[in-house]
């Protein structure tokens, strides 16, 4: 039997950031993951503190953003791989009223650092009757490269097992699982939580999101663009466009209807020909109150859950890992907004 401090089940942004926290704290652990939950890999990769529909700050996003950048940069240093890029977002305005709302929002202390008051009048090859507002301190995270690089690092360390977690192999009396004895288990399974009999009573709601990748020569856009969708430059004339939101999904496969929906919106703003080269889909783990699900099982006191980030996992996951670690190791209370005890 191998004695370890933690088992982590799942290796999206939630499990990955918790693993990094355990490395920082010199804790022993092993990750079990079979890559069945793909929301983190399919994610647009945008880190953006502002909800650009209403020009308000996402919950706690200013603090979370600063900490997230610090953590991802430290992972870059650990792995020797670059996957974090600072890129502004330009929000395309649809009316004079929206422009005025932008200026009103930028006067708020929490938003002033993020909403640039110097508007951009036009972007070549992008149709717009009105100007564009620039979001400062935004950027792009290559989530596929991040997850694959970190996974390979853990494989080399003997801390990653690429297989599905079998709940029936748990021995709750001996705190053992297969060849391991553990102090704590943290479940970071994304939408797979529905199969976890210890936490599947939590109100997690799957939300299917789809992106297409296009090749568009001559656009030469280096910044991210937000209209009704996001347009994200990937280099080599490739751009990621999306995403859709669908709670009434029947499967996790890319759909013709989502592709049509994305391209119809894209055609209204992009004034150059393009080719669709890829489409992908993932299931976001969301909650009705738009807050994460973090906490301890009500009866099994060394079982924990870390889940439910929705579309804000890139910014929130590093903070969530710290909250949960401090809760387990130092009995520091979790933020009430994300504590699963709110559903008791």
Radius of gyration (Cα) for the chain, nearest Å?
21
Backbone angles phi, psi at 253, to 5 degrees: -85, 150
**pLDDT of 41 over the 90 cut:** no
Q: What is the pLDDT of residue 248?
A: 87
What DSSP designation does 261 have?
H
Q: At what angle do helices 313-330 and 13-24 cross, to 10 degrees?
A: 50
Which pLDDT tens digit goes with each residue over 103-143?
999 999 999 999 999 999 999 999 999 999 999 999 999 99
| Contacts of residue 277, Cβ cutoff 8 Å, sequence gap at least 6 | 213, 214, 215, 238
202/169 Cα distance (integer angstroms): 23
170/96 Cα distance (integer angstroms): 60
What mean pLDDT comes out for the span 29-51? 88
| Closest alpha carbon to 188 in 71, 324, 74, 70 | 324
Q: What is the pLDDT of residue 35?
A: 84
Q: What is the pLDDT of residue 39?
A: 80
**Could you tell me the maximum CA-CA distance found in the chain, to the nearest angstrom?**
67
Q: Assess whether the previous peptide bond of 243 is cis (omega < 30° from 0).
A: yes
Which pLDDT tens digit goes with each residue over 278-322?
999 999 999 989 899 999 999 999 999 999 999 899 999 999 999
Coil vs helix vs strand at 104: helix
Q: How many helices (H) and strands (E) does the chain have?
A: 7, 20
- Which H/E stretch holds residue 9? strand 2-9
**pLDDT of 329 over the 90 cut:** yes
Q: Which residues pair with 231 in a beta bridge?
A: 225, 241
Query: Domains in the chain, please, with CATH?
Result: 2-45+143-203+289-343 (3.50.50.60), 205-286 (3.30.9.10)
Residue 47 token pair: 């880190």
Q: What is the pLDDT of residue 183?
A: 98
């Amino acid at each position: 039997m191998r004695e370890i401090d933690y088992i982590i089940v799942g290796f999206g942004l939630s499990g990955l950031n918790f693993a990094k926290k355990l490395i920082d704290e010199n804790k022993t652990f092993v990750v079990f993951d079979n890559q069945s939950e793909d929301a983190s890999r399919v994610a647009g990769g945008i880190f953006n503190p502002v909800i650009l529909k209403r020009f308000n700050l996402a919950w706690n996003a200013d603090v979370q953003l600063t900490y997230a950048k610090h953590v991802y940069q430290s992972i870059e240093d650990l792995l020797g791989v670059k996957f974090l890029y600072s890129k502004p977002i330009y929000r395309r305005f649809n009316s004079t009223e929206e422009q005025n709302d932008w200026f009103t929002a930028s006067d708020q202390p929490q938003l002033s650092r993020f909403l640039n008051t110097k508007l951009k009048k036009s972007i070549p090859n992008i149709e717009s009757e009105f100007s564009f507002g620039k979001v400062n301190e935004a950027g792009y995270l290559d989530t596929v490269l991040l997850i694959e690089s970190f996974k390979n690092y853990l494989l080399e360390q003997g801390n990653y097992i690429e297989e599905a977690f079998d709940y029936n192999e748990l021995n709750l009396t001996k705190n053992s699982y297969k060849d391991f004895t553990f102090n704590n288990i943290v479940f970071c399974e994304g939408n797979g939580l529905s199969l976890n009999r210890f936490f599947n009573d939590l109100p997690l709601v799957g939300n299917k999101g789809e992106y297409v990748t296009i090749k568009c020569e001559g656009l030469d856009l280096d910044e991210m663009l937000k209209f009704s969708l996001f347009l994200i430059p990937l280099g080599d004339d490739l751009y990621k466009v999306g995403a859709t939101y669908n709670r009434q999904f029947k499967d996790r496969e890319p759909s013709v209807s989502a592709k049509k929906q994305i391209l119809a919106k894209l055609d209204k703003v992009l004034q150059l020909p393009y080719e669709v080269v890829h489409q992908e889909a993932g299931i976001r783990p969301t909650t009705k109150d738009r807050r994460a699900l973090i906490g301890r099982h009500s009866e099994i006191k060394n079982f924990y859950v870390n889940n439910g980030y929705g579309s804000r996992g890139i910014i929130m996951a590093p903070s969530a890992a710290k909250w949960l670690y401090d809760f387990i190791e130092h009995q520091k209370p979790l933020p009430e907004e994300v504590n699963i005890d709110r559903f008791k």
